Amino acid sequence: MTLYYEPEADRARALASVLGGQPHGAQDLAELAALVRADPDTQLVILGASVELAEAVAFAAQHRLARPSLGVVLLRDHVDVAVLAEALRSGIREVINATDADGIRGACARSLQVSHQLALGGSAPAVAGVKEGHLVTVFAGKGGCGKSTVATNLAVALADGGKSRVCLVALDLTFGDVANMLQLVPNLSLADAVPMARRLDETAVRSLVSPLAPGLYTLLAPPTPTDGERVGRELVSEILKIVKRMYDYVVVDTPPFFSDQVLAALDLSQWYILLATPDIPALKNLRLTLDMFDLLEYPTSQRIIVLNRSDAQVGLTHADIDRVVRAPIAGRVPSTRDVPVSINRGVPLMVDSPNNPVSRYIQEVRSRIVGQPAQAGDAPGPAHRRRAFTLRRGR
Ligand SMILES: Nc1ncnc2c1ncn2[C@@H]1O[C@H](COP(=O)(O)OP(=O)(O)OP(=O)(O)O)[C@@H](O)[C@H]1O
Ligand SMILES: [Mg+2]
């Protein structure tokens, strides 16, 4: 039996109709607790938006140990990080906006699934049997090689106008390039996950991502370097493991050095895009990066080495470059002023100019990751994508 408690009569009626079936409404929390006690088969309780947070938290905490298979879903008029942190700490499974009927039904279905697994003595389905998305980390050992440019455009390409779900994660915790490139103000960022460390789940992570375009979401870097320091390796691992379950692809932008957080991302990656520009310091850093990758035993078959701004006239021949890098270069991306122009406009090149040589190369990388070449005419036209993109920006 599904139980609910919502003190306001109108809202209680509305909630019952959203839930469907024959949910049983309690008059107060004492009656709710009594009903739970009386029926050991009860697996789901929904607490309405008018229930005081402290009461809801106390109810969940009380049942957490006594009845671990009982799922509590909490509705709120505003879901913010503080509420989520407190709710999740108490054992509430999901916090959903009270006006989001589909969200409420989805949360109830997920909670029942978890209860079912727990009743069978298994682990939660979030871990068992769930297909994971591919994680792609874009890295370069030297600054300014084009990591943020490639990561952002690759995320757009992988989302393919909404055909896939993609999360672009900005692990450049010091300067937050992705937010700058997309001209977003990070209202929410990775730093907001800090109070929820070790208790994060999909609901919590969902509250931190910003929608950008159909299928495309971002998890932004904190607005200041001081906030960035609070996001440690374990938290990054925890977040990325969850994000991988939620999206088809996760693209991670990184700072130009091996930090603990970067290593956490690399450890969870299926693909590594390694960038360099045609100058000796960048090429040497690429070689050092490859040596490090060998030591860490990241598979060579999953490394995609890209030479960005490859046409820069800097007196190095292809042979000179190959001699320093000593590994196959998968692609050479030309320099074009369209890249800085697109960054200044805050719209990725892939959105505005899918036929630009840089965009075309990014599509090649996407095809390799997706495992099949993109069909001509498959992707929505630039106008469609641009419109969708513009709708979500300017926040
Ligand atoms: N193919 C290209 N053609 C022209 N300009 C480019 C190209 N790729 C990148 N740039 C320019 O190079 C600069 C650095 O690019 P980007 O910020 O993507 O590098 P990054 O590796 O993320 O840098 P950082 O290490 O500082 O995070 C930007 O101004 C961008 O416009
Ligand atoms: Mg960058």
pTM above 0.85, yes or no: no
Helix (H, G, I), strand (E, B) or coil at 249: strand
What are the CA-CA distances from residue 127 to residues 1, 124, 167, 244 (Å)?
Answer: 26, 6, 19, 11
Per-residue pLDDT at 392: 46
Q: Are both 52 and 197 inside the same structural domain?
A: no
Amino acid at 348: P
Q: What percent of the chain has pLDDT over 90?
A: 59
Q: Are both 113 and 139 inside the same structural domain?
A: no
Q: Are both 77 and 15 inside the same structural domain?
A: yes
User: Rounded to the nearest whole angstrom, what is the distance from the C-alpha of residue 6 to the centroid of ligand 1?
Assistant: 53
CA 133 to chain centre: 10
* The CA-based dihedral angle spanning residues 205, 169, 174, 254, taken in that order and rounded to the nearest 10 degrees: 140
289-314: pLDDT as tens digits: 999 999 888 999 999 999 999 987 77
Helix (H, G, I), strand (E, B) or coil at 344: helix
Strand intervals (E) in 289-344 = 303-308, 331-333
User: Rounded to the nearest whole angstrom, what is the distance from the C-alpha of residue 170 to the centroid of ligand 1?
Assistant: 15
Looking at 68, 94, 119, the residue that finishes a domain is 119
- In a domain, residue 284? The reply is yes
Q: Are both 86 and 152 inside the same structural domain?
A: no
Q: Are both 313 and 388 inside the same structural domain?
A: yes
Q: Are both 154 and 212 inside the same structural domain?
A: yes
Q: Are both 46 and 168 inside the same structural domain?
A: no
The band of 120, judged by pLDDT with boundaries at 50, 70 and 90, is low
Q: Are both 202 and 91 inside the same structural domain?
A: no
Ligand 1 pocket list (CB less than 6 A): 140, 143-149, 172, 177, 256, 308-309, 333, 335-336, 339-340, 343, 358
Q: What is the CATH number of the domain that holds 313?
A: 3.40.50.300
Q: Are both 140 and 218 inside the same structural domain?
A: yes
The band of 329, judged by pLDDT with boundaries at 50, 70 and 90, is very high
Domain that holds residue 215: 134-392
Q: What is the CATH number of the domain that holds 81?
A: 3.40.50.2300
Q: Which atom of ligand 1 is nearest to the CA of 151?
A: 18
Q: Are both 209 and 250 inside the same structural domain?
A: yes
Q: Which residue from 142, 149, 172, 359 has its CB within 8 A of the most atoms of ligand 1, so it is best to mutate?
A: 149
Residue nearest to atom 13 of ligand 1 (CA): 144
Q: Are both 183 and 72 inside the same structural domain?
A: no
What average pLDDT is seen over the chain?
Answer: 87
- In a domain, residue 81? The reply is yes
User: How many C-beta neighbours within 10 Å does residue 38 have?
Assistant: 9
**Domains in the chain, number:** 2
61-114: pLDDT as tens digits: 888 877 888 999 999 998 887 888 788 778 888 889 999 999 899 889 888 887
- In a domain, residue 129? The reply is no
- In a domain, residue 126? The reply is no
The band of 326, judged by pLDDT with boundaries at 50, 70 and 90, is very high
Q: Are both 141 and 112 inside the same structural domain?
A: no
- In a domain, residue 231? The reply is yes
pLDDT of residue 126 exceeding 70, the answer is: no
* 215 CB-near residues (< 8 Å, 6+ apart): 159, 160, 161, 162, 163, 164, 165, 166
- In a domain, residue 127? The reply is no
Helix (H, G, I), strand (E, B) or coil at 28: coil
Looking at 119, 146, 167, the residue that finishes a domain is 119
- In a domain, residue 125? The reply is no
User: Rounded to the nearest whole angstrom, what is the distance from the C-alpha of residue 164 to the centroid of ligand 2?
Assistant: 24
The band of 377, judged by pLDDT with boundaries at 50, 70 and 90, is very low
Measured at the alpha carbon of residue 32, what is the angle toward residues 30 and 34, in degrees to the nearest 5?
Answer: 70
- In a domain, residue 57? The reply is yes
Helix (H, G, I), strand (E, B) or coil at 386: helix
Q: How far apart are CA 77 and CA 100, in angstroms?
A: 10
Residue environment code for 280-312, b if the CB has 16+ CB neighbours within 10 A, otherwise e: eebbebbeebbeebeeeebeeeebbbbbbbbee
Residue nearest to atom 19 of ligand 1 (CA): 146
Looking at 84, 119, 154, the residue that finishes a domain is 119
